[in-house]
Amino acid sequence: MEEEKKQEWWLAYEITLVTLAFISVLFIWTDNAVLMVIDRFVWLIFFTDVLVRFIAADRKWEYIKRNPFDIIAAIPLDAIFQTARIVRLFRVLRFFAIARKYLGTLYSIIKTNGLDLVLSVAFILIFGAAIVAKEFEPSITSYMNGVWWSVVTTTTVGYGDISPETGVGRIVAVILMLVGIGLIGMITSSITTFFLKDGERKDETVNFIQNQLDHFDDLSDKEVNRLIAMLEEMRKEKEEQEDGREDSELGD
């Protein structure tokens, strides 16, 4: 019971970090004094989190290799260079760490066909395009309007309330539309591929285990140990899926 409570608090903490990351990104190009103070607070939390995790890690270099975006996001580059505020985008990639830890099936789908890389690139392009739009498009006077335009263009909804007027803006719009079309297709194919392969893999594994059990008396010690390891792996996968469903219900 105590362990479950600890997991719930830890999940709430991770979700809070991602929420704060989204907040800091939404005001990425705002010079309002209050919002700047909020961003400094968000940065301090991220910096402390990364520092504590780094100190607690037994293998420091392995931690750095596994969490490059977290480390980059913790460096206060935007305090020196205004254009370096785009580094805040890396904070939101923390979402993938949560998906990997708590939502086993979702993370597996995201990892299928390199979808995780595509999503990361698409996310950075969308928010990066908002910065470009604000700088070059006369009709886009704020970063939030730029984000709105980027999202609408990427999803190919095209409300038409904001349209690019410059050559740079139109080029960016074309890139976003192509990214949106490709992203939708990539998500669909990744979900389909995951469930097809997952079902085939489980069927093959179950059939193999059943066959081994039918000839259990003839198995060597090595084969028995292999069978035990396979069953243990299946048990872990089942527990991860159940934990993911429970965490999803908790979030709802």
Q: Tell me the pLDDT tens digit for each residue of 202-223.
A: 666 677 777 777 777 777 777 7
Q: Are 247 and 11 in contact (CB under 8 A)?
A: yes
* pLDDT at res. 91: 61
| Cα distance between residue 96 and residue 76, in whole Å | 22
Helix (H, G, I), strand (E, B) or coil at 67: coil
For the entire predicted model, the pTM comes to 0.45
Residue 241: how many CA atoms within 13 Å on its side-chain side?
A: 10
State pLDDT tens for residues 63-87.
Answer: 777 777 677 666 665 555 444 455 5
Residue 67 has a CB neighbour count (10 Å cut-off) of 19
**Residue 135 CB neighbours (<10 A):** 13
| Amino acid occupying residue 248 | S
* pLDDT value of residue 171: 92
